[in-house]
Structures are given as structure tokens and as C-alpha cells.
Amino acid sequence: MLLVKARPEIEELAPYVQGQSSIDGIENPIKLSSNESPLGPSPKAIEAYSHKATNLFRYPDGGQSELRGAIADVYGLDPARIICGNGSEELMQIMIRTFLGAGDEAIISEYCFGICKLHAFAQGAVVRTAKEPDCMMSVDNILAEVTEKTKLVAISTPNNPPGTYMSKSELHRLHAALPKHVLLLVDGAYAEYVTASDYDCGLGLAKDASNVIVTRTFSKLYGLAGLRIGWSYGPAYIIELMQRLRTPFNANAAAMAAAAAAIADREYADKIRDYNNSWRDKMMTALSGLGLHVYPSVTNFILMRFPESHHSPEGAWTHLIADGIIPRPVNSGGPERCLRVSVGLAEENEAFIRSITSYMRT
Ligand SMILES: Cc1ncc(COP(=O)(O)O)c(C=O)c1O
């Protein structure tokens, strides 16, 4: 008999479901389920990581100075206003724990990263979801949810699973219309891939405004998902409050060394972006040619919607799995009749296109 009772908010949480990584009976499946960077990190990041192997008995630098400095150099930021975390998801958690309490309201855009909703619930906050019609974030829908209890608005731009973004003018319209005591979180996990001229990752707003915070990650374009390292930038007083909740050694030494080397290697980052964007566009064209609705992704993944026919995401999933390819099903609550795939290595993308083509011809 269980006598120990958790808080009801926690009992009600649904566990996070990670992208599948294996297929029974298939030795080396093609994993296109977690938006990882298939070419891996910069060789300079691997070298910095290996170098740390000789020093593993030392605690990390709890002040995170080297990495904060490297990030600040690339983006022209004040290093004192940067905080690093065990993935950007840890920083979202710290930020939510810092600002939301029981009864506060958070407005979370429909396809914002799910961790925000989870932690807001865990704090006992009320979560209001702003619908994203046709997978596009809507400033009007967000503003319609604002009440006097609103403390946080969270968006991911680009969002996930659609991979679409909020334009600069819309982001600024949203910020200008929000009451100044409402914190705006701009999650830019895929910002490094975006080349659209009307995209704004929010760093400019976070520099100047008193209520904007940005989160970024090394898990995607920088290929360091396994090390768990991300960063956040915001007003000095917000970062200072978050620092009080951060555990002193939340980011490990090898992760910070690798991330500092990765962000400094601009040539490699450009190469990865070009590789990804060219394959993503080829894959999107191939999928549209098969009669699938393809959302205009600016990221390293693609969301496709199946037409109302005998073709379905479930059927495609079974077909792809049989061919040794793992896509990402879109869980309940996500866009209907959809399946998501990440951009992989050239031969993996070709195998995926062959397999989905053969399915769509059945
Ligand atoms: C939209 C979005 N934001 C944030 C994250 C979190 O990234 P990480 O915790 O690896 O930094 C992800 C991870 O998949 C994501 O898709």
C-alpha cells in the first residue's frame, strides 16, 4: 500500500516520450526521430572534450566563465547576462521555477517545447494554450489569453514539430502588446538554422527589454545533444534571480569546454547549416511531389501531413520501420495525420525518400 503522496500536480503529469532509437531485429537503423545533427560536432569541440579527459577529477568552473565568454564573443552579448544549463530545457525549468507559483497563469503557444508546460503544471500554475492555426504561431491568439494573472508567455520560434517561425514584426508586435510585468520566453533551439530575412531570434529584445528571455541550445546545429548543454540570455536582474536556483555545477566541464570550442568554430557551423538546409529543401520537395502537405520548415526536421486517403502516418510508420528507418510519430495533441522526420546523412535521406515513395505508391 502506498502511503506517501506526491503533490497532485505531479501525479497528473504524463511522462515524456523520447524519440525511438532502436528497431527489434535491425542492427543499425536510420534514426530520424530526434532532430540530432547527423554530421556531429566540430572536430575542435571533440578535441576540447578529449582534453578534459585528463582532468576529470576537477570540479567544473561553477562560474561558467569560458563558455559565457565564448557565447558573448559570437553574439556581442554581455557575458554577465548569460547562464548555462544542462540543456536548454534545464534553463526553462529554472526560469519557470523562478517566476511561476500556484495560481499564476502561463500562456504557452500550442507547439512550444513541451517541457515548459510540464514545469508550469508542476509549479501549480494554470496553463493556457494559444492555438497555432495551420501550425503557425498566432500573436492574436496569445494576446486573447492574457489576464491579470498572466506571468509568462512562452513560444518556440522555430516551433516543433512544424518547424515554422514567428516573423520579426509579429514578435515585436507581441512584445509591444504584452503588459510589462509579463515575461516573454523565446525558445530558439533551432535558431542557428534559420536564414529567413524576417526572422528574429529575440536576442535584440532580450538585450534591451526588461521582460524578455531567450534560451538556446548546443544540441541541434552544434551536434552536442549527448553532452546536455544550453544557454540563456536576459535582463541582468532575471539572470541573477535564476542564478540563485541554479545548482553550482549544473553544466559539466567537458560539455562546457566542447560547447565553447563548437561556438567559436564559425566555419564548421556554416558548413552544417548549408548541408542541412540544402537536404531539408530537397526532402521537402520530394515529399510535396508525393502529394503530402509539407509545412515550410526552417529547421533540421520536416513535418508532413497525409491527405485524407488510405495513406496514413501510422501506415507510413510501419512501412518505414520495416525498412529500418525511425521517424517521429506526432503524439496526441499534435497536428493530426502528421509524421516528423529529421534531416540525416545523405544516404539516410535517400533511403527515407525511397521508402516513403514506395509507401505512397501502394
Ligand atoms: C523546440 C525545442 N526547444 C528546446 C529543446 C530542448 O533542447 P535541449 O534541452 O537539448 O537544449 C528542444 C529539443 O528537442 C526543442 O525541440
DSSP 71-84: HHHHHT--GGGEEE
Give the C-alpha separation, 126 to 113, whole Å.
17
CATH code of the domain containing 210: 3.40.640.10
- Of 265, 298, 329, which residue constitutes the final position of a domain? 265
Task: Domain count for the chain, please give it.
Answer: 2
**Would residue 14 count as lying in a domain?**
no
- How many other C-beta atoms are found inside a 10 Å radius of the C-beta of residue 81? 20
Residues 162 and 276 in one domain: no
Name the pLDDT band for 8 (thresholds 50, 70, 90).
confident
229 lines ligand 1 (CB under 6 A): no
pLDDT score of 6: 86
Based on C-alpha coordinates, what's the Rg of the chain? Answer: 21
Bridge partners (DSSP) of residue 301 are 342
Residues 332 and 293 in one domain: yes
87 lines ligand 1 (CB under 6 A): yes
Query: Relative to the CA of 187, which ligand 1 atom is closest?
Result: 3
In the reported structure, the alpha carbon of residue 114 is separated from the centroid of ligand 1 by a whole-number distance in angstroms of 9
**Would residue 7 count as lying in a domain?**
no
Query: Relative to the CA of 85, which ligand 1 atom is closest?
Result: 11
- Of 234, 265, 296, which residue constitutes the final position of a domain? 265
**pLDDT tens digits for range 272-307:** 999 999 999 999 999 999 999 999 999 999 999 999
Q: Where are the alpha helices (DSSP H) in the chain?
A: 8-11, 43-52, 65-75, 88-99, 114-122, 139-144, 168-177, 203-208, 236-245, 253-264, 266-289, 313-322, 346-360
Domain membership of residue 59 as a residue range: 43-265
Residues 135 and 182 in one domain: yes
35 lines ligand 1 (CB under 6 A): yes
**Would residue 76 count as lying in a domain?**
yes
3-state secondary structure of 93: helix
Query: Relative to the CA of 216, which ligand 1 atom is closest?
Result: 11
Which residues make Cβ contacts (< 8 Å) with residue 64, sequence separation at least 6? 82, 83, 84, 251, 256
85 lines ligand 1 (CB under 6 A): no
Q: Is 349 exposed, middle or buried (0-12, 13-18, 19+ CB in 10 A)?
A: buried
- Of 227, 245, 265, which residue constitutes the final position of a domain? 265
**pLDDT tens digits for range 11-33:** 888 887 788 899 999 999 999 99
pLDDT score of 17: 79
Residues 108 and 160 in one domain: yes
In the reported structure, the alpha carbon of residue 74 is separated from the centroid of ligand 1 by a whole-number distance in angstroms of 21
Residues 313 and 195 in one domain: no
Give the C-alpha separation, 29 to 97, whole Å.
38
In the reported structure, the alpha carbon of residue 189 is separated from the centroid of ligand 1 by a whole-number distance in angstroms of 6
Residues 318 and 354 in one domain: yes
Give the C-alpha separation, 48 to 117, whole Å.
35
**Residue to mutate, 67, 93, 113, 229, ligand 1, most ligand atoms under 8 Å from C-beta:** 113
Name the pLDDT band for 211 (thresholds 50, 70, 90).
very high
What's the whole-number mean pLDDT along residues 330-338?
Answer: 86
Residues 49 and 144 in one domain: yes
Q: Is 57 exposed, middle or buried (0-12, 13-18, 19+ CB in 10 A)?
A: exposed
pLDDT score of 15: 80
Residues 125 and 85 in one domain: yes
In the reported structure, the alpha carbon of residue 318 is separated from the centroid of ligand 1 by a whole-number distance in angstroms of 26
CATH code of the domain containing 288: 3.90.1150.10
Give the C-alpha separation, 258 to 268, whole Å.
14
Give every strand in the sheet of 82-85, ordered side by side.
82-85, 230-233, 212-217, 183-187, 150-156, 105-109, 126-130
**Would residue 1 count as lying in a domain?**
no
**pLDDT tens digits for range 73-120:** 999 999 999 999 999 999 999 999 999 999 999 999 999 999 999 999
pLDDT score of 10: 85
Residues 114 and 130 in one domain: yes
Angle between helices 43-52 and 253-264 (to 10 degrees): 150
Residues 201 and 292 in one domain: no
**Residue to mutate, 32, 86, 88, 250, ligand 1, most ligand atoms under 8 Å from C-beta:** 88
- 251 or 5, which is more confident: 251
Residues 337 and 247 in one domain: no
Residues 258 and 277 in one domain: no
Reply yes or no on whether the pLDDT at 1 is more than 80.
no
